[in-house]
């Protein structure tokens, strides 16, 4: 006689048993943790990018300030309302210094005239400097008001 012919000799089929209660929360907990992690990384990256953008634009707080590249002739380049305004330009190379007028070349080869005054502040390597720090061949960053003729009335000059 074959033992498989008798149904009583067969082992009972496995029963579908429900997961224990302590494992039912595991999947939702993992999903909630992953969501929180992604949200936290997003908030951190957003705050980092915003502070980097503000630092690059030299903008304190929520001030609405625009930057503009320099141009050699009026009406060219990107400027604020009315074709002139307050801003900071890219690095310039000083080509001549005569009294309170500095002529410099922009990276695109255009010539920029910078007018200084007794109120112009000078810095070099983060320290306060004098007008004599601006010499032919030095790299400068100028901050000030653009005039309608394309020149700049400098409020601050940073010598590199």
3-state SS assignment for residue 25: coil
CA-closest candidate to residue 142, choices 151, 11, 96: 151
pLDDT of residue 45: 86
How many domains does the chain contain in total? 2
Both 145 and 92 in one domain: the answer is yes
Q: With respect to residue 128, please indicate whether it lies within any of the assigned structural domains.
A: yes
pLDDT of residue 72: 39
Task: Write the pLDDT tens digit of every residue in 82-119.
Answer: 444 455 566 899 999 998 999 999 888 888 899 999 99
Both 90 and 142 in one domain: the answer is yes
- The two tokens of residue 124 are 């070099």
Both 44 and 87 in one domain: the answer is no
CATH of the domain at 119: 2.40.50.140
* Strand-pair category, 111-115 with 152-159: parallel
Both 103 and 147 in one domain: the answer is yes
pLDDT of residue 104: 93
Q: With respect to residue 9, please indicate whether it lies within any of the assigned structural domains.
A: no
Both 112 and 148 in one domain: the answer is yes
Burial 42-79 (b: 16+ CB within 10 A, else e): eeeeeeeeeeeeeeeeeeeeeeeeebbebbbeeeebeb
pLDDT of residue 78: 36
For the cut 80, the answer to whether the pLDDT of residue 35 exceeds it is: yes
Q: With respect to residue 102, please indicate whether it lies within any of the assigned structural domains.
A: yes
> What is the pLDDT confidence band of residue 33, given thresholds at 50, 70 and 90?
very high
- Can you give the residue range of the structural domain that contains 140? 81-159
């Amino acid at each position: 006689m074959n033992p498989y012919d008798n149904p009583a000799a067969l082992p009972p089929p496995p029963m579908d048993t429900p997961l224990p209660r302590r494992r039912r929360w595991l999947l939702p907990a993992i999903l909630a943790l992953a969501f929180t992690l992604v949200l936290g990384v997003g908030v951190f990256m957003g705050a980092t990018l915003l502070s980097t953008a503000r630092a690059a634009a030299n903008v304190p707080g929520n001030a609405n300030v625009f930057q503009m590249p320099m141009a050699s002739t009026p009406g060219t380049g990107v400027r604020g309302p009315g074709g002139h305004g307050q801003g900071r330009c890219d690095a310039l190379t000083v080509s001549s210094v005569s009294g309170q007028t500095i002529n410099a070349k922009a990276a695109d080869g255009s010539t920029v005239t910078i007018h200084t005054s007794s109120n112009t502040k000078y810095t070099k390597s983060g320290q306060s400097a004098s007008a004599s720090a601006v010499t032919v061949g030095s790299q400068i960053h100028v901050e000030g008001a653009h005039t309608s003729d394309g020149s700049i009335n400098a409020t601050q000059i940073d010598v590199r």
